[in-house]
């Protein structure tokens, strides 16, 4: 009985860990492949040093490269916003994440203007674009005639509404955001849109331009796709750790199953021999020996499912946007555990079922 309880515990741990691993990878796949609201593929972020004197020259030279589809300067970017401005419309006041940007920013980043228009030269230090969440927070029905009351001389005219693109990880909901057109005056980021091709060679050419203009400043860059992927390093490490422990748990469970089936076969040698002499088929003997293991896996599944569901439901609370705890994940975990158990058992039970019954009875 003690060995059966221990084996059931091992099976329970295996089922729970298999379910946990699948849910973690399902969530990671969800956050990594969900639409951010802009095209992050082949979009490069180059860090501009503080008080860099050659920013415009650098941008102009990079913009000339044949594989560059667009460039734009900004102070901050999705994944790295350091500016929050207060806004007082006379109706409601709260903080808004702000990115001061230069020309061509919307096109380079691939943002969508839902209503209104893009920046023009005459908008310098006079206009801004806000996202849908900002519109909701203010309670405005329309952006037309509205102003973002930040800065001198009556603030900034709201000229359009952006889609609620993600500029932080999926751990948090989309917050209010404004893009302020300052011409890229105090920029610390140069965003570069690359054409499909050999990204490694393209970056090499950009590096050469950087080193020719600014040989003493390090060339620091990252793709926006990699930037957002890096926001989930903690979850990646957790998934790797749990996968490792799951493999250990499954290995220990298989060892326990082998010991258990060996003892069962040893104790039922006479019964197996008599059944074989009376005409029992190999498959019938194997079903007889495997039946208890199916029962133990079923018990383990019943115990493991609510535990895994509760733990992962709590873990998913760390995300504002999350995948569903689908029933099929737990069912698949149970099926996998059953498959592993039956494969392990069947090898030993097949040996017992195919043994010469006369030899078995003589041994008895």
Q: For the residues 266-271, what does the mean pLDDT come to? A: 58
Which tens digits make up the pLDDT trace of 125-184?
Answer: 889 999 999 999 888 889 998 887 765 466 789 999 999 999 999 999 999 999 999 888
Q: How confident is the model at residue 102 (pLDDT cuts 50, 70, 90)?
A: very high
Burial 18-38 (b: 16+ CB within 10 A, else e): bbbbbbbbbbbeebeeeebbb
List Cβ neighbours of 197 (8 Å cut-off, separation of 6 or more): 67
List phi, psi (to 5°) of 8. -65, -40
Whether the predicted pLDDT of 84 surpasses 90:
no
pLDDT at 130: 94
Whether the predicted pLDDT of 355 surpasses 80:
no
The whole model's pTM is what? 0.81
CA distance linking residue 277 with residue 269, whole number of Å: 12
CA distance linking residue 8 with residue 301, whole number of Å: 10
Q: How confident is the model at residue 65 (pLDDT cuts 50, 70, 90)?
A: very high
With beta carbons less than 8 A apart as the criterion, state whether 228 and 35 touch. no
CA distance linking residue 341 with residue 252, whole number of Å: 11
More confident residue, 221 or 183: 221
Give me the count of residues in the chain: 364
Q: What share of the chain is helix, strand, coil (3-state, %, to 5)?
A: 55, 15, 30
Q: In this predicted structure, which of 113-122, 204-213, 252-261, 282-291 has the lowest mean pLDDT?
A: 282-291
Whether the predicted pLDDT of 267 surpasses 70:
no
pLDDT at 285: 62
DSSP 225-280: HHHHHGGGHHHHHHHHHHHHHHHHHHHHHHHHHHHHHHHHHHHTHHHHHHHHHTT-
User: Over the chain, what is the mean pLDDT?
Assistant: 85
With beta carbons less than 8 A apart as the criterion, state whether 337 and 300 touch. yes
């Amino acid at each position: 009985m003690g060995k059966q309880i221990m084996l059931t515990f091992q099976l329970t741990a295996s089922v729970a860990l298999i379910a946990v691993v699948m849910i973690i990878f399902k969530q990671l796949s969800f956050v990594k492949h969900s639409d951010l609201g802009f095209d992050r593929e082949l979009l490069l972020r180059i860090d501009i040093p503080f008080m860099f004197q050659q920013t415009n020259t650098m941008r102009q030279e990079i913009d000339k490269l044949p594989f560059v589809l667009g460039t734009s300067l900004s102070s901050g970017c999705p994944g790295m916003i350091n500016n929050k401005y207060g806004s007082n419309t006379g109706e409601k006041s709260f903080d808004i994440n702000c990115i001061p940007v230069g020309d061509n920013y919307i096109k380079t980043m691939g943002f969508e203007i839902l209503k209104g228009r893009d920046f023009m030269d005459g908008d310098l230090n006079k206009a801004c674009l806000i996202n849908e969440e900002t519109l909701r927070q203010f309670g405005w029905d329309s952006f037309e005639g509205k102003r973002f009351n930040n800065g001198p001389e009556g603030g900034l005219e709201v000229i359009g509404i952006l889609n609620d693109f993600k500029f932080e990880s999926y751990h948090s909901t989309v917050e209010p955001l404004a893009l302020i057109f300052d011409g890229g005056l105090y920029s610390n980021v140069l965003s570069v849109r690359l054409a499909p091709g050999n990204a490694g060679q393209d970056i090499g050419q950009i590096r050469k331009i950087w080193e020719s203009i600014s040989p003493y400043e390090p060339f620091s860059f990252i793709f926006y796709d990699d930037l957002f992927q890096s926001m989930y390093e903690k979850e990646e490490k957790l998934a790797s750790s749990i996968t490792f422990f799951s493999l250990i748990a499954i290995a220990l469970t298989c060892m326990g199953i082998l010991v258990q089936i060996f003892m069962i076969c040893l104790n039922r040698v006479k019964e197996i021999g008599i059944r074989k002499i009376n005409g029992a088929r190999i498959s019938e003997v194997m079903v007889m020996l495997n039946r208890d293991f199916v029962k133990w896996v079923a018990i383990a599944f019943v115990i493991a499912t609510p535990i895994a569901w509760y733990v992962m439901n709590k873990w998913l609370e760390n995300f504002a946007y999350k995948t569903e705890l689908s029933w099929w994940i737990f069912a698949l975990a149970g099926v996998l555990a059953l498959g592993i158990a039956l494969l392990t058992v069947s090898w030993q039970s097949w040996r017992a079922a195919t043994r010469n019954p006369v030899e078995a009875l003589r041994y008895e």
